[in-house]
Structure 1
Amino acid sequence: MKNISIVGGGIAGLTTAIALEKIGLRPHLFDATTELHPVGAGLALSSNALKAYHHLGIDDQVLHAGHPLPGLRILDQRGDLISEAPVPTAFPNVAVHRADLHDLLRSQLCYTTVHLGKQATGFTTAGEAITVHFQDGSHFTTDYLIAADGIHSAVRQQLLPSSRARYAGYTCWRAVLENPGVSLPAATETWGVGKRFGLVPLSNHRIYWFACLNAAERDPQVRNYTLAQVKQLFQDFHAPVTAVLDATAPEALLHNDICDLKPLPRYAFGNIVLVGDAAHATTPNLGQGACQAIEDAVILGECLRASSVPEEAFRRFERKRLARTHYVITTSRRVGQVAQWENRWLIGARNALFRALPARLQERQLAWLDAVAFTGE
């Protein structure tokens, strides 16, 4: 194959590079940072992501870097159970610090040429050649381009100018800290009135927490909230929420609005293809953002293995991914809307309904996620 390049060195880009190496390719990878340093805190990888990493032969390393999750419990503000996700059987769920996963993926690269400090601003074409332009004024010419440059992808915005991140209606704070001595046998998410609080155990005796609040988009007051103000918002939540917030260092606090992409009509554009958040950024309510990016990487690699014509492989990848990723985006957005309800009567009815739902419905959802097939056919 001719030159193939990846823009974006996050989970999508790094996993894609590994998948390409597995089929004998030696891609170029470009990342905006001057060192491959991830932004973010913790994340949960569902069984479908572990299944994908098993296909690449690195699931054991991912499990070692993370903390197995026996399940996810949805609680009300008092701490009473609303719903509990079933435990997968074939491959486990695992919580991992984004930095740990990032370092692991980087360590797996053997033949990828990594270029740092290269933020893609767009591209031009001449015949079949693609020239990627970077913020520092440099450029690189390649035959095939994989855009893994995130929700604000410059490549996607050039291909689909109307596609922009859309606000989900709530904002989020996150942090990772040393466990202050609280018992956390499973991941939990507490649904309050227009706000939520999640707790996830990580490896090395750490905890990842996140807190969501209904707010206006890019609200300057909310954006500047201190940790003390976040504590005030969740002071009426059940234990151990307050204890975890009390143990959090102010400098550990991260904040961002929650956004996704309206489902796109296509991911393949001749010799260019979109993957990960550049293609189908989703809200985090199903825990599938990183998981779908990981699926992308493996399936794209298998499509390229199965076809001697990369443009056809990109089209085949698109056909295999559109419906599944569209479903994740749409369902995750709806779950977030329901979880962030503010009407107390509706909240009571919602919680009662969730408690009455038969377990087989959640098992069906789990089976759907696990049914992904990593083939290029």
Structure 2
Amino acid sequence: MKVTILGAGIAGLTTAIALKKAGIPAQVFEAAPQIKAVGAGLGLAPNAMLALQKLGLSEKIIPLGARLPHFSILTREGKVISRNDSNVIGEKYGLDNFTIHRAELHEALLSELNPADIFTGKRAVDLERIGKSIRLHFADGSTHDTDCLLVADGINSAVRAKIVPDVQVRYSGYTCWRAVINYTGDEPPGATETWGAQGRVGVIPLTKQRIYWFACINAKAGEQRYRNYTARNLYEHFRQYHDPIPSLLAQTQDTQLLKNDIYDLKPLKRFAYGNVLLLGDAAHATTPNMGQGACQAIEDAVVLADEWQRHGTFEYAFPAFEQRRLARTTDIINQSRTIGQVAQLENSLLIGARDLLLRSMPASFRMKQFDKLYTVDF
């Protein structure tokens, strides 16, 4: 039986690793001419770390990341609105919150696979069913036949569009700049997000004296005035925010900036379509407000391998995967979108009410939310 994975991102590579460990070989087809991780930092929450532990990868990944002692939401002036202690989280769930550079995670995952099973320059543009098989058509004119297909090629998947043509990719209402820099100031003791009327800025320490930061500003999709925004423009926009935000922006070079409008997928009603299964962002792309995009992709890999081993065939494994993953990923998409809307408020009265509500929220309520997010079913 031929198993094919579309996409060599975190979802595709982790799935290939999980299936390999389950004794199910797969080939990976990647659209890019060479596999080169892009992006900046990302979070690996306890649920993702537990999934990596199940795959035997946590000991390899942990030294590459930075443990976060706490995560705080701050006002523009730097006053604490809400704080979560990672020591409490680590004691309860067994593993802490980590941050890691996406490129380093990607490289670690790649090293687990045989390069002969990965094919680059293969951008899938169409598929057709031939009997019980699937024939993929690539942009370079080549084709590939397979018995089952795992679609993990991202939020804008062309293959998913052929299977589910009415899928809705939704704009969040804000655009985002990101960068990883070597910071010369004092390293922040933990991760922070600063919420103000001018926008939101996150500051997350990585390893090797590096800082990952992001900045979100409300805007129309593709708004012209932000297309060529420079690091200097961002500095001027956020210069009234507390330290070290102005210093971080001042030390950032334009060549280090990555900019993206933020989108998610309206939750799908299905992931499994016969011998085709949607995974990762192709199935349940979410806004980054909960730091769960990569985490849910890693969970997908573990659950799929688990169901495949349990049932023995993809015919039973794919629907079982769908049953385990639909409700969880739908909740995360919806909750993350709501958090983004609340975090991006501009009205001062609404901001005051929001901050007061968050400050008065009991720790027990937050722990219930963590229970829901970090408790996994494997």
TM interval, short-chain normalised: over 0.9
Q: Does the 8 Å CA contact 2:81/2:355 hold for their aligned counterparts?
A: yes
Task: Give the TM-score, by structure 2 length.
Answer: 0.97
Q: Which amino acid aligns with 2:25?
A: R
Deviations 1:185-215 (A, max 9, x none): 1000000115100000001110000000000
Q: What residue number does 1:342 align with?
A: 346
Matched, 1:217 2:233: no
Q: What residue number does 2:27 align with?
A: 28
SS of match in other structure, 1:125: strand
2:277, 2:165 → 1: CA distance? 16
2:6, 2:176 → 1: CA distance? 27
- Cα distance, 1:111 vs structure 2: 8.0
1:136, 1:81 → 2: CA distance? 53
Q: Which amino acid aligns with 2:96?
A: P
SS of match in other structure, 2:368: helix
Give the 3 Å change call, closer, same or farther, for CA 341–164 of structure 1 in structure 2.
same
Give the 3 Å change call, closer, same or farther, for CA 112–24 of structure 1 in structure 2.
farther
Aligned counterpart for 1:108 among listed residues 112, 128, 139: 112
Q: Does the 8 Å CA contact 1:118/1:136 hold for their aligned counterparts?
A: yes
1:105, 1:234 → 2: CA distance? 36
2:19, 2:116 → 1: CA distance? 9
Deviations 1:198-251 (A, max 9, x none): 000001110000000000011122121111111111111000001111111110
Matched, 1:207 2:206: no
1:101, 1:286 → 2: CA distance? 19
2:366, 2:247 → 1: CA distance? 31
Aligned counterpart for 2:162 among listed residues 150, 158, 161: 158
Q: Which amino acid aligns with 1:235?
A: R
Q: What residue number does 1:177 align with?
A: 181
1:145, 1:123 → 2: CA distance? 10
Aligned counterpart for 2:193 among listed residues 175, 189, 203: 189
2:147, 2:43 → 1: CA distance? 35
- Cα distance, 1:338 vs structure 2: 0.4
Q: Write the mapping of 1:185-334 to structure 2, written as runs, cut at 5 A.
A: 185-334=189-338
Q: Does the 8 Å CA contact 1:280/1:329 hold for their aligned counterparts?
A: yes
Q: Which amino acid aligns with 1:200?
A: I
Aligned counterpart for 2:368 among listed residues 364, 368, 372: 364
Q: What residue number does 2:76 align with?
A: 77
1:126, 1:70 → 2: CA distance? 53
Deviations 1:297-350 (A, max 9, x none): 110011111112212100000000000000000000000000001110010111
Deviations 1:257-304 (A, max 9, x none): 010000000000000000000000000111111101110011001111
2:159, 2:238 → 1: CA distance? 40
Q: Does the 8 Å CA contact 1:21/1:111 hold for their aligned counterparts?
A: no
Q: Does the 8 Å CA contact 2:2/2:26 hold for their aligned counterparts?
A: yes
- Cα distance, 1:86 vs structure 2: 3.6
2:339, 2:202 → 1: CA distance? 15
- Cα distance, 1:155 vs structure 2: 1.6
Deviations 1:64-90 (A, max 9, x none): 111111121000100000001242221
Q: Does the 8 Å CA contact 2:175/2:219 hold for their aligned counterparts?
A: yes
- Cα distance, 1:133 vs structure 2: 1.1
2:162, 2:104 → 1: CA distance? 32
- The alignment covers a number of residue pairs equal to 373
Moved over 6 A (4+): none
1:111, 1:137 → 2: CA distance? 23
Q: What residue number does 1:128 align with?
A: 132
Q: What residue number does 2:62 align with?
A: 63
Q: Does the 8 Å CA contact 1:177/1:206 hold for their aligned counterparts?
A: yes
Give the 3 Å change call, closer, same or farther, for CA 311–86 of structure 1 in structure 2.
farther
SS of match in other structure, 1:85: strand
1:160, 1:86 → 2: CA distance? 41
Task: Give the TM-score, by structure 1 length.
Answer: 0.97
Q: Does the 8 Å CA contact 1:29/1:112 hold for their aligned counterparts?
A: no
Structure 1 unaligned residues grouped into runs of 5+:
none
1:312, 1:111 → 2: CA distance? 29
Matched, 1:149 2:142: no
Q: Which amino acid aligns with 1:78?
A: E
Deviations 1:152-197 (A, max 9, x none): 0112111111113210000000000002222301000000115100
1:181, 1:163 → 2: CA distance? 45
SS of match in other structure, 1:224: coil
Q: Which amino acid aligns with 1:335?
A: I
Structure 2 unaligned residues grouped into runs of 5+:
none
Q: Does the 8 Å CA contact 1:43/1:98 hold for their aligned counterparts?
A: yes
Q: Which moved more, 1:305-314 or 1:91-100?
A: 305-314
The alignment-based identity, stated in percent, is 48
1:23, 1:101 → 2: CA distance? 21
SS of match in other structure, 1:136: coil
